[in-house]
Homo-oligomer: A and B are copies of this chain.
Amino acid sequence: MARRPANPISESMDDYLKAILVLGGSEGKKVTSTALARRLNVTPASITNMLQKLAASTPAMVQYERHHGVQLSSAGKKRALEVLRHHRLIETFLYEVLNYPIEEVHDEAERLEHFISERFEERIAAKLGHPKFDPHGHCIPALDGRMPKDSSMRLTDVRDEGTFIIDSISDIDARILKVLKVRGISPGVQLRVRDIYEDHGYAVSIGSSKKILQLSQADSAAIKIQPM
């Protein structure tokens, strides 16, 4: 029964799989080349190349039809969740154990996630008490890949004034993360939408404070919320 060995998964392949996952390319939805190109900071041509490779590998990591987007196969999704788990555990570790400033954990985790062993993962998870959320409020996939469904919504989808709980903050832009930190905007905090400037941001207040904060559109786009 000479089962041929699964071909190795490179660091780059991992990055692509994780990006597809985060952009929603599991559960039937498809992701476009352009969206991937933007997220990964490479040209669309490079995306096409890699998608062909991911589709051709054994087992196939994605389902891909040219000009019609990609989505993860079950093997691809499994792998992407492993990488995401690594990433978020490392972020939590850097924040909790090594006292990193929140806006620095992402870049470091982004590099390290490809190189830590299963043992490293196991040890930091144990040290942290098997956390369910990273410091940005994002859910950490379990070892078996299970992850509760995310019921949060984007602040930028809000059309009416109201009160919410901050669910999570996107970690990709350190600058925004720092801006939000100094304004007290972090997961779990209550956020009241006071005014909406169509496509130009929001006026909000935090907790029980009456102070009004102006958030740019870019800042607002990094915030996910839950209705109270």
Nearest-neighbour CB distance to chain B for A107, whole angstroms, equals: 8
A98 touches B115 (CB 8 A): no
Interface residue A15 (Cβ < 8 Å from any Cβ of B):
no
Please tell me if the beta carbons of A98 and B116 are within 8 angstroms of each other in the complex.
no
Q: Which of B98, B104, B107 contacts A127 (CB under 8 A)?
A: B98
A209 at the interface (CB under 8 A from B): no
Chain B residue nearest in CB terms to A115 = B111
Selected contact of A116 from candidates B100, B112, B124, CB within 8 Å? B112
Q: Would you give 6 A-B contacts (Cβ < 8 Å), ordered by A?
A: A94-B120, A97-B97, A98-B124, A104-B119, A107-B117, A115-B115
Within 8 A of B (CB), among A68-117: 94, 97-100, 104, 107-108, 111-112, 115-117
Which one of B99, B112, B119 lies within 8 Å of A112 (CB-CB)?
A: B112
Q: A97-B97, A99-B123, A100-B119 are in contact. List 13 more A-B contacts (CB 8 A).
A: A94-B120, A98-B120, A98-B124, A98-B127, A104-B119, A107-B117, A108-B119, A108-B120, A111-B115, A112-B112, A112-B115, A112-B116, A115-B115
Main SS at interface, chain A: helix
Q: What's the Cα separation between A111 and B98 when bound, in Å?
A: 20
Residues of B within 8 A of A98 (CB): 120, 123-124, 127
Chain B residue, CB-CB nearest to A127: B98
Q: How far in angstroms is the closest Cβ of chain B from A148?
A: 28
Q: Cα distance A119–B112 when bound, in Å? A: 13
Q: Who on chain B is nearest to A117 by CB?
A: B108
C-alpha gap A104/B123 in the complex (Å): 13
* Cβ–Cβ < 8 Å partners of A112 in chain B: 112, 115-116
Interface centre among A98, A100, A107 (most CB of B within 10 A): A98
Interchain nearest-CB distance for A106 vs B (Å):
12
| Chain B hits for A120, CB < 8 A | 94, 98, 108
Distance A97 CA – B127 CA, assembled complex (angstroms): 9
Counting from the closest, the 4 A-B pairs by CB-CB distance are A98-B123, A111-B115, A108-B117, A115-B115
